[in-house]
Amino acid sequence: MLLVSSGQINAQVPFEIQPGSTVNVVVRTENGLSRAEPLQVVTAAPGIYTVNGGGAGSVLAFHANGILVGDASPALPGEAISILVNGMGSTLTSDTAGTLVTGENGAGQTTIVSASVSIGGSAARVISSVAEIGAVGRYRITVSVPDLTAGEKAIVVSAAGKASQSAGLNVGFLFPQPPTFFQANLAGSYVASFGLKVKSPNPAAAGEEIEEIAFFNQLVGGAGCTLAIAGSVGPTYSGQVHCQDYSNPNSLIAILMAFKDGQFVDNKLIFTIRQPAGVNQFFYVGSGASPTRTVTATIAAPITGGAVSIDFKRPDFAVGDTIVGTIHATIAVGGSGTTPAQAVQLGGSFVSTITNVRR
């Protein structure tokens, strides 16, 4: 038994009882025996320890340095944290200890069943699930915090088809204080994708046309996609995107966009407001595929909307760092020939390296 009080008994279910069994639980005191209560024994039924000890509120979780995760020290996206749970069942042997037995302190043995952990609705990568060293009936699950926005997030542990109660985990912001001023240049690759409405011959009726979607993918390789950023927290940041690849005259692309009023939000620098329309243009020559044919397109059109998200990940970004992000644009295609007038949605991701930064 782990705890006995006037209103509560915490006891460990013996490992010798086979999962799937139903047993009777009886409490014996100096006054006699309690009424027998049936208890179904399962392979695992995780429960999360919480800071207040009552099973609700903030999860009992720790950073790698042993500091408690909380409002003053939140978990960060990508960080490995350990959470304490019970009900994870039997373990394997380890190099230093045998399988966990009833009443024995844990020695870091790995649990037989695998745990899955959800944080803020996103799956967290489970690094390990072991018996807590020096504790009876307690387990330590180490996970990598997924890429989430800052704030209180619900955390749930599942194993063998059973889910724990939901507890709270405070996820922090990697930029506790965004840079007051900086100027940076990025260069890298970008993969652009878009769908284009086209008119094609109707294979079921000669002389008629059908409208279908042709899909296009274009790689801007090497350092062909550059982003220039500058500004400060006060008037916020401006940004310019110049992605182009003219290496093949039969497959070329150029994306020119300028933005203003960019701000750091949830670990990312985000632009959604464009500079004057004349700066924002899209050029494309290339081939795509519709359900019925290969489609060749030539597009020269203004960009009427767009957004750029740049994920710096850490506040001390420097020259040589690899940066990822996304570029999206809405393109107003005027229409000609077999291509009707339409708004085209361009999307894609980039991988860049910081080539210059000034603070």
The last residue of a domain, from among 145, 171, 197: 171
The per-residue pLDDT for 143 is: 96
pLDDT value at position 140?
Answer: 97
Is 242's pLDDT higher than 70?
Answer: yes
pLDDT of residue 191: 96
pLDDT of residue 10: 84
pLDDT of residue 280: 95
> Number of structural domains, the chain?
3
Note the pLDDT of residue 7.
79
Domain final residue pick, 171, 192, 214: 171
Within-domain flag for 298: yes
154 with 200, same domain: the answer is no
Residues 94 and 135 in one domain: yes
What tens digit of pLDDT does each residue of 113-172 get? 999 999 999 999 999 999 999 999 999 999 999 888 778 999 999 999 999 999 999 998
Per-residue pLDDT tens digits for 51-94: 998 899 999 999 999 999 998 889 988 899 999 999 999 999 87
- How would you write 63-74 as a 3-class SS string? CCCCCECECCEC
Do 36 and 102 reside in the same domain of the chain? no
Q: State the DSSP string of 233-288.
A: TTTEEEEEEEEEE-SSTTSEEEEEEEEEEEEEETTEEEE-EE--GGG-EEEEEEEE
Strand 9-10 versus strand 37-40 pairing type: unpaired
**Residue 176: pLDDT band with limits 50, 70, 90:** low
Distance CA 54, CA 191 (A): 50
List of E strands, 5-163:
9-10, 22-25, 28-29, 32-33, 37-40, 47-48, 61-62, 80-86, 115-119, 122-131, 139-144, 151-159, 162-163
- Shared domain for 23 and 120, answered yes or no, is no
| Same domain, residue pair 117 and 215 | no
Asked whether residue 302 carries a pLDDT value surpassing 90, the answer given is yes
The pLDDT value given to residue 298: 93
**In Å, what is the CA distance from 242 to each residue of 5, 38, 306?**
69, 69, 14
Together in a domain, 122 and 242: no
CB 169 within 8 Å of CB 69: yes
pLDDT at 267 > cutoff 80? no
Confidence of residue 276 (pLDDT cuts 50, 70, 90): confident
108 and 257 housed in the same domain? no
Q: 157, 166, 149: which is closest to 76 by C-alpha?
A: 149
CA–CA distance from 247 to each of 116, 220, 252, 285, 349 (Å)?
47, 10, 7, 12, 20
Query: Does residue 231 fall inside a structural domain?
Result: yes
Q: Is residue 316 part of a domain?
A: yes
CA dihedral 267, 273, 278, 281 (to 10 degrees): 50
**Are residues 11 and 68 part of one domain?**
no
Mean pLDDT on 46-55: 94
Indicate whether 176 belongs to any domain: no
CA–CA dist 52, 167 (Å, integer): 11
| Domain span including residue 340 | 181-358
User: Which of 138, 171, 204 is where one domain is finished?
Assistant: 171
Compute the residue count for the chain.
Answer: 359
Same domain, 105 and 206: no
Q: Is residue 53 part of a domain?
A: yes
Instruction: Output the pLDDT for position 151.
Output: 84
